Amino acid sequence: MKNLLTIAGSDCSGGAGIQADLKTFAAHGTFGMSVIVSVVAENTERVISICDMAPSTVADQIDAVFEDIAVDGVKIGMLSGTEQMRIVARKLKQYRPRGVVVDPVMLAKGGCALMQPEALRTLKEEILPLACVLTPNIPEAEAITGRNIITPEDRRAAAKLMFQMGAENILLKGGHLSGEAEDLLFDGGRFYTFTHKRIETKNTHGTGCTLSSAIAANLALGLSVPEAVREAKEYVTGAIEHALPIGKGHGPTNHFYFMKGIRG
């Protein structure tokens, strides 16, 4: 059994954040653990409030996991502010886990900021270099690189820039493109594309969380980075195809669509 850790925010409505990560880990046959950095009161329609954990509480949770259990992979999601980023960076430098996937979460679907804009610099300087795989969507990549990303050439240039900034591999996600959902991977040497036709659905709450935690699980299970991304892309595509019409807004991805009796 591989042990996977998510360091992220809690989505009480169960579709994104820690909850999506743990469901993804379970669906991959891995043992999921969580360090809660913020408690977000949110649902499929809106974010009501965000309560950040004290940095010492974040540090204690990370110590509790690492002093006791072998960690085979880590996914980092929502880190709301500079203090939370600094403590996570310090602790991961101390414990040096392999296969860290960083999803640089900035906005919820409805547009609410999940990362304070003034923390962008710390994200770039302290969190980004920890990434074995960095998984920005297009607006996040624009914020990180300070460049507009419109053409395919812009996407390749942005991926190269984020590689130079210290991430080992960059997966620039295409959920925000028009047309096909094409994700672009850059490993410092070559580009790979992972494409699926766009699924017509409003139920896309937690797609990014699902993808990044599936990549972390696949890496821990021994796949190479391109293989881990290819399988994670298949997983998230199935989870969107069978997404659940729960709630009044963007329904959540479905992690158990292949299991008998609980098809969405």
Ligand X SMILES: Nc1ncnc2c1ncn2[C@@H]1O[C@H](COP(=O)(O)OP(=O)(O)OP(=O)(O)O)[C@@H](O)[C@H]1O
Ligand Y SMILES: Cc1ncc(CO)c(N)n1
Residues that bind ligand X (CB under 6 A): 16, 109, 137, 173-176, 181, 183, 196, 198-199, 204, 206-209, 211, 233, 236-237, 240
Annotated active-site residue 111? The verdict is: no
Q: How far is the CB of 59 from ligand Y (least distance, A)?
A: 20
Task: Take residue 125 and report the two structure tokens written for it.
Answer: 């300087």
Distances (CA, A) of 249 to 10, 13, 203, 219, 239: 18, 12, 8, 32, 17
Q: What end-to-end distance do the CA atoms of the chain give, in Å?
A: 28
Least distance to ligand Y from the beta carbon of 152, Å? 25
Q: Please indicate whether residue 146 is annotated as part of the active site.
A: no
Structure tokens at 55: 């940095």
- For ligand Y, which residue of 14, 32, 77, 251 counts as binding (CB under 6 A)? 77
Q: Which of 53, 62, 78, 87 binds ligand Y (CB under 6 A)?
A: 78
Tell which one of 4, 16, 22, 62 touches ligand Y (CB under 6 A).
16
Instruction: Give the C-alpha distances (Å, rounded to integers) separating 42 from 14, 34, 143, 200, 217.
Output: 9, 18, 24, 24, 26
* Edge-to-edge order in the sheet of strand 3-11: 47-52, 31-42, 3-11, 73-76, 100-102, 133-134, 169-172, 181-186, 191-196
**Which residues between 87 and 146 bind ligand Y (CB under 6 A)?**
105, 108, 114
- Segment lying near ligand Y (by CB under 6 A), choices 24-32, 148-156, 185-193, 206-214: 206-214
Q: Which of residues 213-252 bind ligand Y (CB under 6 A)?
A: none
Strand partners of residue 52 = 38
Catalytic residue among 209, 210, 233, 251: 209
Q: Which two tokens stand for residue 68?
A: 């006791």
- Sequence-ordered list of residues with C-beta below 8 angstroms from that of 30, at least 6 positions apart, any chain: 1, 2, 3, 4, 72, 73, 217, 220, 221
Tell me if residue 173 is catalytic: yes
12 catalytically annotated:
no
Active site (annotated) includes residue 91: no
Which residues sit at the interface with ligand Y, rule CB under 6 A? Answer: 8-9, 11, 16-17, 40, 42, 77-78, 105, 108, 114, 206, 208-209
The residues annotated with a catalytic role in the active site are 173, 204, 206-209
